[in-house]
């Protein structure tokens, strides 16, 4: 065939009419089958480095923000949802009852909103301690002593002693 080139290692079928014995044809067929099942892909098992120099890529969803901005946005979303639920409930109650006092409804439905806002301020002040990670360059010795614990009393007080 003109314009068609095969790799030199690829076994080729004999031309039609070539006088091959049955044994030679069997060997050629086995060679073709073996070559067909030879893997054509290579898996690289070298370990991937744990850390690299590539900068982080922004993921879909909320854009990257500082922790303070994230806390503020969640607080605003929660406050907005609470306000809509409380206001909607008060409006429906006043409309349905036709004689509910708006001042009483304002006090009754405003108290949970004020409570939620007060709790949000407390939660904003009470932040957990940040994670501390230590990275050591040389050998590290860790002493694993057995501690004996004893807890007693109505107000539990634990004493850990080596």
In a domain, 2, yes or no: no
How far is residue 27's CA from residue 19's CA, in Å, rounded to a whole number?
14
Specify the DSSP class assigned to residue 3.
T
What is the per-residue pLDDT across 51-83, written as a single tens digit (0 to 9) for each?
Answer: 777 777 877 887 778 888 888 888 888 888 888
How far is residue 87's CA from residue 106's CA, in Å, rounded to a whole number?
9
In a domain, 106, yes or no: yes
The boundaries of the domain holding residue 98 are 67-125
In a domain, 109, yes or no: yes
In sequence order, the 6+-apart residues with CB closer than 8 A to the CB of 26 are none
Number of domains within the chain:
1
Instruction: Give the residue from 116, 130, 128, 129 showing the smallest Cα distance to 75.
Output: 116
In a domain, 104, yes or no: yes
What is the per-residue pLDDT across 13-48, written as a single tens digit (0 to 9) for each?
Answer: 555 546 678 898 899 999 988 888 887 777 888 887
Distances in Å between the Cα of 16 and the Cα atoms of 13, 19, 137 are: 9, 9, 72
What is the DSSP secondary-structure string of 66-120?
-HHHHHHHHHHHHHHHHHHHHHHHHHHHHHHHS---HHHHHHHHHHHHHHHHHHH
In a domain, 86, yes or no: yes
In a domain, 71, yes or no: yes
pTM of the model: 0.31
């Amino acid at each position: 065939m003109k314009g068609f080139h095969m790799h030199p290692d690829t076994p080729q079928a004999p031309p039609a009419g070539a006088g091959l014995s049955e044994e030679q044809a069997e060997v050629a067929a086995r060679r073709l089958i073996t070559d067909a099942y030879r893997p054509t892909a290579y898996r690289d098992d070298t370990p991937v480095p744990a850390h690299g120099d590539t900068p982080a890529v922004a993921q879909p969803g909320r854009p990257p923000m500082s922790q303070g901005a994230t806390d503020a946005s969640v607080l605003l979303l929660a406050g907005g949802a609470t306000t809509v639920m409380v206001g909607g409930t008060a409006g429906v109650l006043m409309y349905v009852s036709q004689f509910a006092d708006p001042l009483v409804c304002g006090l009754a439905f405003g108290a949970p909103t004020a409570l939620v806002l007060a709790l949000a301020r407390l939660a904003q002040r009470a932040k957990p301690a940040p994670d501390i990670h230590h990275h050591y360059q040389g050998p590290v010795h860790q002493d694993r002593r057995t501690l004996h614990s004893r807890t007693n009393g109505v107000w539990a007080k634990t004493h850990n002693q080596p």
